[in-house]
């Protein structure tokens, strides 16, 4: 997967119903370009926390997106990553045509 | 209720239903009044409310309940609660919640939901309230057990009040309300988190910029009101000789007749106000979000100026304008830190230039001496009351005329639907303001379009017998839409005239509120004086022409320098 125009956010979130809606809702209502999502519970956290990877395309408003995402109550940590340093690079083969 | 009644010793467990627990938690939050309407899915809450000291205000439509709670919250800054049932009860609340989100109002909307085992079955009066409230709240919950209420309720108040305030919504299935819970200890009530610490380095950097500026201007917004920092702002402006424009939400923060006040900026600001902003070299935004109605075309806003932005909400910084310096903090704390330095500056040249612009391009209030013209009506009403009154409006021409012409002199004196622009806001918001501050008279300026959107709350007003005066500037039209069709759609008028007009004085009387029609009064000035000065609710019909315009006006999408009229 190319880095071109792509950025990745790694989120640590509370694992309970509604968290996915809060994150996806933010991205759709603010018209941020969300291209991919991967979510799994974090191992060893008794199912209390989840890791959420977000793939963004052609986003010049990354600072603004990070700040809005950090405001979500169930989002505990937001980190920036490159595509190569993310789950998306390794998952590429599962999304081949 | 005494603390001991609320707080049994650790050895005795308390056994309560979810609904009883909810009401007790709300009492512990200091809630004294709830506006709402019962229905099938929140019956247990109403059952539990019977023995509570919390007073319930029964509304005629859930949206009215949402706006009554908002009116209370806007008047006193505390988080306020509204109740609705599931399905249509919840959807009727939506507009009031979205309005609170746009204007940063701490509102706690609590809805009943169908029992959990029926969720997802298209049950009677089932709707996805969690999904509907999600994009229009700071945070929201679907509560899955009575146990969860112990954390959700304090958390809801904490979130509603912390940082930039805003609405939260709590959806509680009926089985959660009915289920019993035994628990050992009450949670602490939720309160606002402490504001971030102000860095003195940031304050110094800000003051350096202000000292170096030749033509600085303050842009004062709702954040200053939220921070109760009007006095600090005034001291700051006076000590550093800084002229101040106000956003719509910031009106009243600095008295309108203060020599440093430049009035409201933006779409319906005075010509001189927008012209000063064209010339300024430093704009200090205090508790503002650079709304499009204030900035006009963003690229042309304050073209000469560097921008300093102080706001409690970090995501507002850089959202619209990129500042040269940003401080994420409570604006009151920043102003206190500056004022502690006791520094003084004067700017005779800049003040002189501002005065020059003010005299050359003043706010023109055409017809201000004629009771039956918009500015004249507003001035006449204002002349008959004192600064103790609170003022609210609906949405439309009347709202902009009031924003331009009413002599606001206090923080929180002015309450209006700014961001969402909700017609129907005025009547229930006025009821809420009067409930929160019954010692003050509340004025509600409205129009014949807006007032119809929540006129069903007049009986609610009659029951509470509050000192609320509703002044209907009646032109038989949707005036602001008509104005836009006139100016920007070649006078191709469509769907702006009401063919069937309403006799509002009679409508009010039919709903238990005194009605006065100035069109039929032998001495309209005297009739207005009498209606305003007596205590109690009254609807005052005041006819105006549909051809009246709000001027100046910046065309939507245009630059503030391209004003029409005025």
ipTM computed for the complex = 0.90
Residue B3 has pLDDT above 80, yes or no: no
Residues of chain A with Cβ-Cβ distance to B138 below 8 Å are 73
pLDDT for the residue B215: 98
Best of A63, A66, A72, A74 to substitute, by most chain B Cβ atoms within 10 angstroms, is A63
Q: Which residue of B has its CA nearest to A75?
A: B139
For residue B497, what pLDDT band results from cuts at 50, 70 and 90? Answer: very high
List Cβ neighbours of B41 (8 Å cut-off, separation of 6 or more): B85, B86, B87, B89, B111, B112, B113, B114, B125, B173, B174
Residue B464 has pLDDT above 50, yes or no: yes
Residue B488 has pLDDT above 60, yes or no: yes
Q: Do A21 and B134 touch (CB under 8 A)?
A: yes
Q: Do B135 and A29 touch (CB under 8 A)?
A: yes
Q: Do B315 and A64 touch (CB under 8 A)?
A: yes
Q: Name the average pLDDT for chain B.
A: 96
Domain boundaries, given as residue ranges, for chain A: 6-92
The mean-pLDDT minimum among A85-94, B92-101, B227-236, B404-413 falls in A85-94
Q: How many CB pairs under 8 A join A and B?
A: 32
pLDDT for the residue B2: 45
For residue B499, what pLDDT band results from cuts at 50, 70 and 90? Answer: very high
Residues of chain B with Cβ-Cβ distance to A71 below 8 Å are 313-315
% chain B with pLDDT above 70: 98
Q: What is the mean pLDDT of residues B538-554?
A: 97
The SS3 of residue B478 is coil
For residue B153, what pLDDT band results from cuts at 50, 70 and 90? Answer: very high
Q: Do B315 and A71 touch (CB under 8 A)?
A: yes
pLDDT for the residue B440: 98
For residue B7, what pLDDT band results from cuts at 50, 70 and 90? Answer: low
Residues of chain A with Cβ-Cβ distance to B142 below 8 Å are 17-18
The alpha carbon of residue B139 is apart from the nearest alpha carbon of chain A, in Å, by: 7
The pLDDT tens digits of the residues spanning B367-377 come to 999 999 999 99
Q: Do A25 and B134 touch (CB under 8 A)?
A: yes
Q: What is the mean pLDDT of residues B304-326?
A: 96
Q: Do A73 and B139 touch (CB under 8 A)?
A: yes
List Cβ neighbours of B354 (8 Å cut-off, separation of 6 or more): B243, B262, B272, B276
Best of B120, B129, B137, B139 to substitute, by most chain A Cβ atoms within 10 angstroms, is B139
pLDDT for the residue A1: 65
The alpha carbon of residue A73 is apart from the nearest alpha carbon of chain B, in Å, by: 7
The pLDDT tens digits of the residues spanning A25-69 come to 999 999 998 999 999 999 988 889 999 999 999 788 899 999 999
Domains and CATH numbers, chain B: 3-183 (3.40.50.970), 200-360 (3.40.50.1220), 374-543 (3.40.50.970)
Query: Which runs of E-coded beta strand occur in A2-97?
Result: 6-14, 34-41, 49-57, 75-81
The pLDDT tens digits of the residues spanning B107-117 come to 999 999 999 99
List Cβ neighbours of B180 (8 Å cut-off, separation of 6 or more): B15, B16, B17, B18, B146
The pLDDT tens digits of the residues spanning B379-415 come to 999 999 999 999 999 999 999 999 999 999 999 999 9
The CATH topology of domain A6-92 is: Alpha-Beta Plaits (3.30.70)
Distance in angstroms (rounded) separating the CA atoms of residues B407 and B409 = 6
Q: Do B141 and A18 touch (CB under 8 A)?
A: yes
Best of A64, A70, A72 to substitute, by most chain B Cβ atoms within 10 angstroms, is A64
Residue B416 has pLDDT above 90, yes or no: yes
Provide residues of B within 8 Å CB-CB of chain A: 130-131, 134-135, 138-142, 159, 313-315, 317-319
Residue B254 has pLDDT above 60, yes or no: yes
* CB neighbour class for B237 (10 Å; exposed up to 12, middle 13-18, buried from 19): buried
């Amino acid at each position: 997967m190319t880095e071109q125009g792509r950025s990745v956010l790694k989120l640590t979130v509370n694992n309970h119903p509604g968290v996915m809606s809060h994150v996806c809702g933010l991205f759709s209502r603010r018209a941020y370009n969300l291209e991919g999502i991967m979510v799994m519970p974090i191992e060893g956290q008794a199912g209390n926390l989840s890791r959420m990877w977000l793939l963004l395309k052609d986003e010049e408003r990354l600072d603004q997106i990070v700040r809005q995402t950090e405001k979500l109550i169930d989002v505990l940590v937001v980190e920036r990553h490159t595509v190569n340093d993310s789950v998306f690079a390794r998952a590429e083969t599962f999304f081949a045509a | 209720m005494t603390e001991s009644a609320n707080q049994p010793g650790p050895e005795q467990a308390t056994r309560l239903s979810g609904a009883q627990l909810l009401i007790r938690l709300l009492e512990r939050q200091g809630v004294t009044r709830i506006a709402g309407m019962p229905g099938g899915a929140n019956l247990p809450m109403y059952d539990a409310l019977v023995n509570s000291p919390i007073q319930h205000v029964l509304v005629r439509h859930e949206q009215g309940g949402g706006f009554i709670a908002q009116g209370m919250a806007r008047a006193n800054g505390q988080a306020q609660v509204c109740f609705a049932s599931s399905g249509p009860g919840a959807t009727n609340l939506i507009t009031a919640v979205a309005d609170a989100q746009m204007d940063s109002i701490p509102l706690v909307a609590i809805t009943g939901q169908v029992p959990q085992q029926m969720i997802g079955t298209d049950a009677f009066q089932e709707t996805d309230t969690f999904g509907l409230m999600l994009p229009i709240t700071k945070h929201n919950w679907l509560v899955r057990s009575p146990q969860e209420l112990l954390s959700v309720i304090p958390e809801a108040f904490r979130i509603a009040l912390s940082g930039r305030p805003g609405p939260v919504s709590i959806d509680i299935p009926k089985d959660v309300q009915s289920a019993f819970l035994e628990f050992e200890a009450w949670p602490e009530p939720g309160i606002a988190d402490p504001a971030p610490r102000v860095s003195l380095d940031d304050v110094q950097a800000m003051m350096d910029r202000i000292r170096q500026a030749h033509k600085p201007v303050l842009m004062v917004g709702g954040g200053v009101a939220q921070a109760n920092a009007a006095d600090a702002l005034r001291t700051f402006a006076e000590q550093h000789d800084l002229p101040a424009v106000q956003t719509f939400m910031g009106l009243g923060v600095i008295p309108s007749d203060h020599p440093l006040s430049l009035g409201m900026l933006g779409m319906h600001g005075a010509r001189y106000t927008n012209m000063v902003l064209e010339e300024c070299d430093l704009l200090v935004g205090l508790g503002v979000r650079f709304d499009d109605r204030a900035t006009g075309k963003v690229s042309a806003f304050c073209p000469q100026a560097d921008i300093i932005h102080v706001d409690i909400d970090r995501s507002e910084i850089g959202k619209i304008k990129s500042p040269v310096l940003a401080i994420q903090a409570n604006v009151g704390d920043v102003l206190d830190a500056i004022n502690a330095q006791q520094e003084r500056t004067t700017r005779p040249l800049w003040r002189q230039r501002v005065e020059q612009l003010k005299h050359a391009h003043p706010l023109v209030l055409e017809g201000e001496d004629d009771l039956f013209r918009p500015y004249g009506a507003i001035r006449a009403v204002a002349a008959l009351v004192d600064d103790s009154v609170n003022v609210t409006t609906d949405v439309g021409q009347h709202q902009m005329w009031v924003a331009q012409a009413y002599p606001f002199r206090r923080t929180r004196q002015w309450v209006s639907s700014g961001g969402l622009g909700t017609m129907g806001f005025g009547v229930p918001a006025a009821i809420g303001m009067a409930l929160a501050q019954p010692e003050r008279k509340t004025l509600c300026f409205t129009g014949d379009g807006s007032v119809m959107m929540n006129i069903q709350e007049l009986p609610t007003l009659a029951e509470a017998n509050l000192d609320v005066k509703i002044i209907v500037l009646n032109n038989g039209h949707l005036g602001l839409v008509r104005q836009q069709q006139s100016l920007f759609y070649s006078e191709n008028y469509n769907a702006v005239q009401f063919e069937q007009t309403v006799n509002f004085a009679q409508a009010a009387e039919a709903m238990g509120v005194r009605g006065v029609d100035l069109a039929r009064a032998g001495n309209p000035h005297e009739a207005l004086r009498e209606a305003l000065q007596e205590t109690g609710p009254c609807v005052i019909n005041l006819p105006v022409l549909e051809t009246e315009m709000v001027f100046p006006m910046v065309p939507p999408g245009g630059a503030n320098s391209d004003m029409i009229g005025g």
